[in-house]
Amino acid sequence: MKASEQRLLIILIAMVAVFATGFMTMRMLDWQRALDKKARSVQLRRAETEALLAEAGLWSARLAWLRESQPPMTNINRASSELSKALDDSAKTHNVTIENGQFVEPVETAHFHQVGKTLLVKTEIKPLFQWLHEMLSPETFHMVSHLTIVPLPEDPKKVTATIHVSRLYSLAKPAGDGTEGSTP
């Protein structure tokens, strides 16, 4: 082998070594970035877990209050009539006029029973919101899943509202039926 061929071979080997080193460096940097990303993800998950564990007492107390306070569903018809009466009574105390009401199909989920009624009310905006505020206190177990408010063209002080109000009941079996407990 001539000296020029040897030099050419040495240069070729050096170039392959440089390219291989560059390729390996790029792979190692990609790997390092992936590890850093996973480490940040683990740190974030750990922080979320610690925050949830710090709130465990609060959520346990809320669950205990819910199990103690939420009424069980005894009869769908009775629950619907109780909801209707409660809505009518509270509307009267706030000078809210219920123009029309229609019961909606009861729902049973994995966590609660729900009875509901869609109302069409006419009133001024302030009494409407005062009524909704009182009605939505946690102790009543009412919820509003739909609310549409439209001003009346003939009387700008009044509005017409369509409200879907539901009441939530626990899945616990009523006392005296021979079964016990509730669904977690």
SS (H, E, C) 46-105: HHHHHHHHHCHHHHHHHHHHHHHHCCECCCHHHHHHHHHHHHHHHHHHCCCEEEEEEEEE
80 touches 117 (CB < 8 A): yes
pLDDT of 179 reads: 38
pLDDT of 184 reads: 40
> What are the percentages of helix, strand and coil residues in the chain, rounded to 5?
55, 25, 20
pLDDT grade for 177, boundaries at 50, 70 and 90: very low
Please determine, for residue 183, whether its predicted confidence score (pLDDT) is greater than 90.
no
How many CB atoms are closer than 10 A to CB 87?
22
Q: In this structure, what token pair is assigned to residue 151?
A: 């001003």
Q: In this structure, what token pair is assigned to residue 161?
A: 């509202």
Q: Quote the mean pLDDT of the chain.
A: 88
Task: Give the residue-averaged pLDDT of 167-180.
Answer: 60
Task: Give the residue-averaged pLDDT of 28-35.
Answer: 95
pLDDT, one tens digit per residue, over 120-143 is 999 999 999 999 999 998 889 999
pLDDT, one tens digit per residue, over 36-75 is 999 999 999 999 999 999 999 998 998 899 888 888 888 8
Domains of the chain by residue range: 1-54, 73-169
Q: In this structure, what token pair is assigned to residue 61?
A: 């107390």
pLDDT of 172 reads: 64
Per the model's pLDDT, the better-predicted residue between 21 and 174 turns out to be 21
Architecture of domain 73-169: 2-Layer Sandwich (3.30)
Task: Give the residue-averaged pLDDT of 148-154.
Answer: 92
**Residues in Cβ contact with 80 at an 8 Å cutoff, skipping those fewer than 6 apart:** 103, 106, 115, 117
pLDDT of 121 reads: 93
3-state secondary structure of 75: coil
pLDDT of 178 reads: 37
**In a 10 Å sphere around its CB, with 0-12 CB exposed, 13-18 middle and 19+ buried, how is residue 80 labelled?**
middle
pLDDT of 18 reads: 93
Spatial distance between the Cα atoms of 70 and 114, rounded to a whole number of angstroms: 12
Task: Report which residue type is found at 74.
Answer: T
